[in-house]
Amino acid sequence: MDTQDCTPHPPAAPDAAPCDPSGHTARPRLNVVGAGRVGLALARLWQVAGGPLQVQALCNPGAARRAQAQALLGPAVAVEETLAALPPAEVWLLAVPDTRIAEVAGALAVQRAGTAPAQAWHCSGFLTAAELAPLQAQGWSVASVHPALSFTTPDRAMAQFAGTVCALEGDAPARALARQAFGALGGHCLELAAADKPLYHGAAVWASNFLPVLAATAQRLWEDSGVPPALAVALRDGFVRRAADNLLALGPAAALTGPAARGDTRVLQLQGQAMAARDASLGQAYAALSDLAGRLARDPAGWLDRPTGSGPATDGA
């Protein structure tokens, strides 16, 4: 894995980029397909930051999404209902759900058949640039670019984007321009092999997506044990905040506490039974996470290299 800052350099614009009246090559025009949180946030960020791309147009079939996009991007950006309505562009960002990337790429390939090849990117953390194969077959340069950020709302994503790690994978020309474009937003780029994307994206799921599930589970179990709901929320927030503070200050192994870290097998067994009686998946998750916690406590350097089921720690506090 090769990492480096996405420091902007003068872009090598695609061959089809138009010229301005002075005769200089203009910035590549960007069309965004999809007006969800990722597409809207990136379009607005590039609109504000400038850099190597000119945000030209966006499309989305939903009227409410189009209205939100027009309000955010203003009249300088065309907001259309269909893919066919979008004007020619040198770069196309397919900011659609993972399950639709290949479908939209195929539709775009049909729509733009016979025109000058361009670039196409998608932002899936799991899927590779191979999802864009219909366009690549027509001579397009394609890439996947995954900003490792939770896009909760466009406004929050815009405020949080600086310093975001952006994983690049795909054809060299598309990666090069994407590096410049995401660098203009303050991104930190790394080169990622296609075969490594499942582990890479899975790591983001562990670091981000599972935390709300763990917090919600804790809150519900406190409530089920008789803790008043308002107090359960306070307990949840306090534990999450202190755990995060300890993690950032001490690192994962030193911040780890609890029965698995202590090697308290009796508590683990009885508590695991209580969890399984409450919900089968809850019992399985408790057992798996307790196993991982024990391995981390025992061997912080090689804990994931040990065989599954090696058990909780037997020393420490």
Q: Tens digit of pLDDT for each residue in 169-208? A: 999 999 999 999 999 999 999 999 999 999 999 998 999 8
Predicted confidence at residue 16, as pLDDT, reads 44
Mean pLDDT of all residues in 134-162: 94
* Side-chain-facing half-sphere of 19: CA atoms under 13 Å: 4
Tokens representing residue 91 in the block: 């770069």
Specify the domain boundaries for CATH 3.40.50.720 within the chain. 2-197
Pick 190 or 2 by higher pLDDT.
190
In tens, the pLDDT along 80-102 reads 999 999 999 999 999 999 999 99
Residue 310: name the closest of 255, 252, 296, 280 by CA. Answer: 296
Is residue 64 scored above 60 in pLDDT? yes
Predicted confidence at residue 307, as pLDDT, reads 55
Mean pLDDT of all residues in 99-122: 97
Q: Which residues contact 49 (CB under 8 A, 6 or more apart)?
A: 184, 185
**Mean per-residue pLDDT over the chain, rounded:** 89
**CA-to-CA distance for 152 and 155, rounded, in angstroms?**
9
Report the percentage of the chain scoring pLDDT > 90. Answer: 82
Q: Which residues contact 46 (CB under 8 A, 6 or more apart)?
A: 30, 53, 55, 181, 184, 185
Per the confidence metrics, is the pTM higher than 0.85?
A: no
Is residue 14 scored above 60 in pLDDT? no
In tens, the pLDDT along 287-300 reads 999 999 999 999 99
Is residue 314 scored above 90 in pLDDT? no
In three-state secondary structure terms, 121 is strand
Predicted confidence at residue 308, as pLDDT, reads 54
Specify the domain boundaries for CATH 1.10.1040 within the chain. 204-305
CA 191 to chain centre: 15
Predicted confidence at residue 5, as pLDDT, reads 42
Confidence class of residue 154 from pLDDT cuts 50, 70 and 90? Answer: confident
What architecture is domain 204-305? Orthogonal Bundle (1.10)
What's the DSSP call for residue 4? E
| Alpha-carbon torsion, ordered 256, 257, 258, 259, to 10 deg | 80
How is domain 2-197 classified at the CATH fold level? Answer: Rossmann fold (3.40.50)
Predicted confidence at residue 152, as pLDDT, reads 85
**CA-to-CA distance for 120 and 143, rounded, in angstroms?**
7
Confidence class of residue 305 from pLDDT cuts 50, 70 and 90? Answer: confident
Predicted confidence at residue 82, as pLDDT, reads 96
Question: Which range, of 21-25, 33-37, 186-190, 247-251, averages the lowest pLDDT?
Answer: 21-25
Residue 66: name the closest of 80, 48, 45, 83 by CA. Answer: 80
Angle formed by the axes of helices 229-250 and 210-224, to 10°? 140
Predicted confidence at residue 75, as pLDDT, reads 96
In tens, the pLDDT along 207-223 reads 988 999 999 999 999 99
